[in-house]
Amino acid sequence: MSSTLEAMNRDHANAPHVLIEWALKQGERPICTTNFRPFEAVILHMATQVRPDIPIVWMDSGYNTEATYRVANEIIERLNLNIVSFLPKRTRAHREALEGPVPGIDDPRHDAFTQEVKIEPFERALKEMRPDVWLTALRAEDTPERAKMQPLSQNADGLLKVAPLLHWSAKDMYEYLQAHDLPNNFDYFDPTKVEEKRECGLHLQH
């Protein structure tokens, strides 16, 4: 598989449709993850064009903005998504009643917060759904760490990670949204990152 991945990364790094179609032929239990951040409708539209019933796994931290929840609902209905939500074991109200608001990134409690609202729900999703192919909308522009990644990779457990939009720019994403008349929203907040271009850790661990 490694030589095949190398060839695909070399020859089709800028061809997301080719990567998605190829990847979805490689496994029996594919998933596509989402957080409904800006431009997220692109990967969701591309994935469902190839496999309409692909499970769309949403790790909903409970800290999304009202606008994010509204656009999520619009995209879910528009694309008829097979949405599967994974939430933290404690609600936002429960956590904040005991521990207060989101800890700052310099607060030693921030790592535990990230683990609770993002990493643990994702690891639970992996355990319950046992995917063999994982589509994700991460892009090289997002963080310096992601700029070092490849569109296709495979972890030690054999999970094929597919980032078909890795080398797309914000302009590419915007033009795709316009071409397909897809909804978008920039009123988005990720409490595990706080700062732009900061890595939350999920894609470093998986």
In the structure, what pLDDT confidence band is assigned to residue 202 with cuts at 50, 70 and 90?
Answer: low
Question: Where does the pLDDT of residue 132 fall: very low under 50, low under 70, confident under 90, or very high at 90 and above?
Answer: very high
User: Looking at the predicted structure, is the pLDDT value of residue 204 above 70?
Assistant: no
Sheet holding 133-135, edge to edge: 82-86, 55-59, 30-34, 133-135, 160-162, 152-154
pLDDT at position 199 over 90:
no
Find the domain containing 76 and state its range: 2-205
Name the catalytic one among 200, 201, 203, 206. 200
Mapped onto helix, strand or coil, the DSSP state of residue 88 is coil
Tokens 């939009």 belong to 165
Where do we find the tokens 């609600």?
91
Question: Quick check: is 200 catalytic?
Answer: yes
Q: Do the beta carbons of residue 8 and residue 164 sit within 8 Å?
A: no
CA 108/CA 106 separation, integer angstroms: 6
Rounded to 10 degrees, what is the CA torsion of 24, 188, 90, 110? 100
CA-to-CA distance for 200 and 197, rounded, in angstroms? 9
Cα–Cα dist 180/123, whole Å: 33
Q: What total number of domains does the chain contain?
A: 1
User: pLDDT value at position 165?
Assistant: 97
pLDDT surpasses 90 at 198: no
Give the 3-state secondary structure of residue 183. Answer: coil
36-79 pLDDT, tens per residue? 999 999 999 999 999 999 999 999 999 999 999 999 999 999 99
Task: Name the amino acid, one letter, at 91.
Answer: T
The alpha carbon of residue 104 and the mean position of all alpha carbons in its chain are separated, in whole angstroms, by 23
pLDDT in tens, 84-108: 999 999 999 999 999 999 998 889 9
Task: Supply the pTM of this predicted model.
Answer: 0.90
Listed residue (136, 184, 183) closest to 161, CA to CA: 136
CATH number, domain at 114? 3.40.50.620
